[in-house]
């Protein structure tokens, strides 16, 4: 098939590249000239395992191309994916200005029947607005062209997006006619050869499914973090509690690891958006509100442990910090706990020596560029020199089995604050560490 993907951010680039991998002819369109020029030169704007190799291969095979001009691909395309950003507004709602601008442009330029697919995460009812925006422009042109709007939400995990797309758990298609369903079935058939995981439904249910899925996962995270805080107060070990409840197959082990809160581009934004959608329809979503409140508080749990241990005034104190990205396998720092921890400590006079395998550039150029008192190391052990304690915030694999003798020899004090409960408390006890976890604390 000939496909156009509008938007070359995380979702758009992965979507276009994976469709090209299956032999489709894909054009990725973006108004950002610098980004398109970089992509044409083989420079990928995001870190995602396996993405760069797949992009370069499909560009070389002429299955994938990049452009700033929709007019170059639209005359021959069969399906158009809208994958532009839906940033969070001041009131928590999703901002649809870019989605609707694309819809209007399609209405101005389309010359033959097409399927228009909402791939961006959008509020319930957005497909109706997209349809209206396209039809408005067609009416201005006084032309009649058939088109169908489909909701096809993405369920990609950062750090595993390629595998998620190529081997999906499910493909949700929301449409209101058989023509659209049939076209989408054909498009996704190569991805579903071993097992048919395509789920068809009405458009609004498809739009709601994405929000419900992310809110459910966020709820599990906040629930476990709430339990971890109670465990610490009553003297229970949250790590053992997790094993005890996870063994129940009704609960499972996924998303019940205690930590310093969720971040990224999806959970925080989608939880806020779902809360706002409920409010707009006169409903107070008590559980969703609580999920967000717990998460906001959880991001400061490690900072509060540091402050309790070293005092409110942290002038003269230096902390090594491992992990800036909100999760391993990505350079994404949106709503990352590290941002909140660093700002909380720095405002009390502390200095931070930080390291992350992929996110240092993001920190320097965007998320922490205006924060004073931070230096960045090229390797994890480099950050330990003359630090008063080590803070771990992202569970990258290279942090899982470090040389604790090396850590102890470089730190001024053998103290670790672990925001992801990575280490064995008894091993650290034997090595003479003072070790602080989420949901349990050990002091030497």
Catalytic residues: 266
Residue 246: both structure tokens together: 């996870």
Closest residue by Cα to residue 292 from 245, 223, 383: 223
The dihedral of CA 157, 343, 291, 229: what is its sign?
positive
C-alpha–C-alpha distance, residues 231 and 241, integer Å: 9
**Cβ within 8 Å of residue 294, ≥6 positions away:** 222, 223, 225, 226
Residue 237: both structure tokens together: 């070990």
Composition of the chain by helix, strand, coil, percent to 5:
45, 15, 40
Please check whether residue 228 is in contact with residue 304, taking contact to mean a CB–CB distance below 8 angstroms: no
Specify the DSSP class assigned to residue 410: H
How many CA atoms lie less than 13 Å away from 429 in the CB half-sphere?
7
C-alpha–C-alpha distance, residues 190 and 101, integer Å: 32
**Cβ within 8 Å of residue 382, ≥6 positions away:** 353, 355
**Cβ within 8 Å of residue 376, ≥6 positions away:** 353, 354, 355, 360, 363, 364
Q: What is the CA radius of gyration of the chain?
A: 24
C-alpha–C-alpha distance, residues 415 and 407, integer Å: 9
Residue 176: both structure tokens together: 């209101």
């Amino acid at each position: 098939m000939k496909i156009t993907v509008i938007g070359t951010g995380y979702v758009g680039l992965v979507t276009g590249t994976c469709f090209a991998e299956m032999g489709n002819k894909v054009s990725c369109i973006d108004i950002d000239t610098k980004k398109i020029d970089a992509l044409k030169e083989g420079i990928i704007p995001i870190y995602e395992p396996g993405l760069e190799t797949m992009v370069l291969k499909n560009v070389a095979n002429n299955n994938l191309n990049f452009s700033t001009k929709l007019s170059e691909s639209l005359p021959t395309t069969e399906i158009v994916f809208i994958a532009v950003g839906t940033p969070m507004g001041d009131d928590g709602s999703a901002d649809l200005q870019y989605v609707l601008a694309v819809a209007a442009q399609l209405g101005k330029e389309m010359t033959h029947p097409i399927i228009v697919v909402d791939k961006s995460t959008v509020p319930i009812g957005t497909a109706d607005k997209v349809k209206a925006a396209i039809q408005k422009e067609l009416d201005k042109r006084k032309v009649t062209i058939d088109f169908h709007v489909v909701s096809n939400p993405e369920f990609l995990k950062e750090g595993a997006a390629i595998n998620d797309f190529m081997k999906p758990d499910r493909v949700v298609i929301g449409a209101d006619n058989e023509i659209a369903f049939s076209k989408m079935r054909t498009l996704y058939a190569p991805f579903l050869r071993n097992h048919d995981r395509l789920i068809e439904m009405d458009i609004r249910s498809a739009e709601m499914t994405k929000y419900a899925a992310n809110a459910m996962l966020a709820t599990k995270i906040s629930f476990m973090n709430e339990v971890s805080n109670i465990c610490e107060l009553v003297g229970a070990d949250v790590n053992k509690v997790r094993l005890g409840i996870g063994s129940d197959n009704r609960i499972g082990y996924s998303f019940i690891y205690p930590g310093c809160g969720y971040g990224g581009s999806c959970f925080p934004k989608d939880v806020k958006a779902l809360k706002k959608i409920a409010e707009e329809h006169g409903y107070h979503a008590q559980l969703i509100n609580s999920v967000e409140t717990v998460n906001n508080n959880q991001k400061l749990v490690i900072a509060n442990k540091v402050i309790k241990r070293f005092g409110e005034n942290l002038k003269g104190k230096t902390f090594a910090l491992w992990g800036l990205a909100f999760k391993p396998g990505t350079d994404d720092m949106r709503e990352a706990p590290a941002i909140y921890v660093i700002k909380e400590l720095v405002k009390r006079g502390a200095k931070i020596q930080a390291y992350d395998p992929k996110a240092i550039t993001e920190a320097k150029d965007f998320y922490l560029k205006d924060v004073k008192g931070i230096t960045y190391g090229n390797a994890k052990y480099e950050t330990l020199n003359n630090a008063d304690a080590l803070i771990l915030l992202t569970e990258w694999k290279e942090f899982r089995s470090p040389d604790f003798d090396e850590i102890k020899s470089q730190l001024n004090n053998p103290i670790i604050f672990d925001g992801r409960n990575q280490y064995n408390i008894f091993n650290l006890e034997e090595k003479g560490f003072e070790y602080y976890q989420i949901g349990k604390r050990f002091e030497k």
